[in-house]
Amino acid sequence: MGDVFKALADPTRRTILDGLAERSGQTLFEICGRLVSQHGISLSRQAISQHLEVLEEAGLVRTRREGRYKFHDIDTAPLENVLERWLPGKDTP
């Protein structure tokens, strides 16, 4: 669970997750483009790739290859585990 908090501690990684929540299945090129155009975040592809690696290690992002392209999908299961642990009875008003 510590990996999840470490991954979420960085604002750029949270922004990447927000973008994947809007539209999952993006390539590195698409993620970089969205960060620049929508958020003014201009980092190298290598830096974004490292952020994606941290998110993947935390289980928040899954990657899949199709031909020569690598797609990144959000996985909210680790967040749901945190909610269940820290907010028991979250379904009750």
pTM reported for the whole predicted model: 0.85
With a CB cutoff of 8 Å and minimum separation 6, the contacts of 45 are: 28, 29, 32
Q: How far is the C-alpha of 87 from the C-alpha of 93, rounded, in Å? A: 12
Query: Other C-beta atoms within 10 Å of 8: how many?
Result: 18
Burial class (CB in 10 A: 0-12, 13-18, 19+), 46: exposed
Closest CA to 77 of 89, 90, 91, 62: 62
CB contact at 8 A, 75 and 61: yes
pLDDT for 90 equals: 54
CATH architecture of the domain covering 2-86: Orthogonal Bundle (1.10)
Give residue-wise pLDDT tens across range 34-74: 999 999 999 999 999 999 999 999 999 999 999 999 999 99
